[in-house]
Amino acid sequence: MIPVRRVKQPTLSQLKAFAAVAEHLHFRDAAAAIGMSQPALSGAVSSLEEALGVQLLERTTRKVLLSPAGERLAARAHAVLDAVGGLMEEAEAVRAPFTGVLRLGVIPTVAPYLLPAVLWLVHDRYPELDLQVYEEQTSSLLDGLAAGRLDLLLLAVPLGVPGVTELPLFDEDFVLVAPGGHPLAGLTDIPREALRELKLLLLDEGHCLRDQALDVCREAGRAEGAPVTTTAAGLSTLVQLVAGGLGVTLLPRTAVTVETARNAALCTGDFAAPAPSRRIALAMRTGAARQAEFEVLADSLREAMTCLPVRIVRPSDSEADEAD
């Protein structure tokens, strides 16, 4: 009689180690990625190979390769780990709301101006919530949300991304920022058409505020090829370039007080109604385990932001906009 081989059950630690090596194809990088020592990671992968009775990796002195079996089983290992992650997320969701970790991603043109209100709200109303904030550009935030690295985003919408649900918070107007003595400084009824010929300074590629400003300019009739000077990675640098007389720019109204207070040479002007604007919202994965909690948080944020120079948007208002 041929003895039946008893297969050991792999552990989650072993699967996590193998999945990391399969992704990085380098023991040191894989160990660093999951916070495990290199010897422990190597031992975990060897134990997994022994438990499964197959060779998962081909090890050489220079590199690590997946064996044919390793290529097939790497996808399975990721699926198991994703399922376990989903289980843990579900377990967290059924606990008391507003406890545990909440990983919030925020775009750079929102973070400095809205985070004080967000942090005050969380500290005052949800003291058991461990809020962790990550400031990144929109594309990186969406990648983090899809991968599960982030739970919730605070950014400009619409995103138009499948699998992402938006919870609108408010609309805010754009304000023209110009150097002192500029013909448009101090005006309260600037026509959008004025943007057609202005020397415009914008943020670098990748910032959604740049794209929004360009959309406003196109709507105003600015030529597609009209020159735009792009030299700033952040709003603080951008307004200092304006103060130096290099051109004008557009700021969201929530940023105006903070950014223009730093230099007396800066002046502002308001556009005639309806002024160009942007919408800020929370965004979450559609069907997220904590969806009800995030909706309550959105309501609380709307309440907390009534003191800001914005127009609060309720869910019913957003639905009416879509119907129109």
Of 230, 261, 235, nearest to 174 by C-alpha is 235
Q: How many CA atoms lie within 13 A of 177 on its CB side?
A: 33
Q: What is the reported pLDDT for 20?
A: 92
| Mean local confidence (pLDDT), 293-300 | 95
Beta bridge partners of 133: 104
Residue 66 per-residue DSSP state:
E
Identify the residue with better confidence: 213 or 12.
12
How far, in Å, CA of 193 to CA of 266, rounded? Answer: 22
How far, in Å, CA of 171 to CA of 277, rounded? Answer: 7
Q: What is the reported pLDDT for 93?
A: 65
Beta bridge partners of 65: 58
Task: Give me the percent of the chain exceeding a pLDDT of 70.
Answer: 90
How far, in Å, CA of 131 to CA of 293, rounded? Answer: 14
Is the previous residue joined to 162 through a cis bond, with omega within 30 degrees of 0? Answer: no
Predicted TM-score (pTM) of the model is 0.68
Identify the residue with better confidence: 209 or 95.
209
Q: Alpha carbon 180 to chain centroid distance?
A: 35
Write the DSSP assignment of 242-306 as a string of letters. Answer: HHTTS-BEEEEHHHHHHHHTT-TTEEEEEBPSSPPEEEEEEEEETT-TTHHHHHHHHHHHHHHGG
Do the bridges between strand 164-179 and strand 249-252 make them parallel or antiparallel, or are there none, so unpaired? antiparallel
Residue type, 3: P
Identify the residue with better confidence: 220 or 194.
194
Mean of pLDDT over the chain: 87
Residue 10 DSSP SS3: coil
- Find the radius of gyration of the CA atoms of the chain: 26
The label of the residue with tokens 């990648």 reads 143
pLDDT digits (tens, 9 = 90+) for 103-152: 999 999 899 999 999 999 999 999 989 999 999 999 999 999 999 999 99
Of 297, 304, 285, nearest to 114 by C-alpha is 304
Q: Alpha carbon 227 to chain centroid distance?
A: 29
Structure tokens at 303: 């309440």
Of 19-33, 105-119, 189-203, 271-285, the one with minimum mean pLDDT is: 189-203
How far, in Å, CA of 62 to CA of 270, rounded? Answer: 62
Domains of the chain, CATH where assigned: 12-94 (1.10.10.10), 100-170+278-319 (3.40.190.10), 172-277 (3.40.190.10)
Evaluate whether 153 touches 105 at the Cβ level (below 8 Å). Answer: yes
Q: Assess whether pLDDT exceeds 60 at residue 271.
A: yes
pLDDT digits (tens, 9 = 90+) for 64-95: 889 999 999 999 999 999 898 888 877 766 66
Task: Give me the percent of the chain exceeding a pLDDT of 90.
Answer: 45
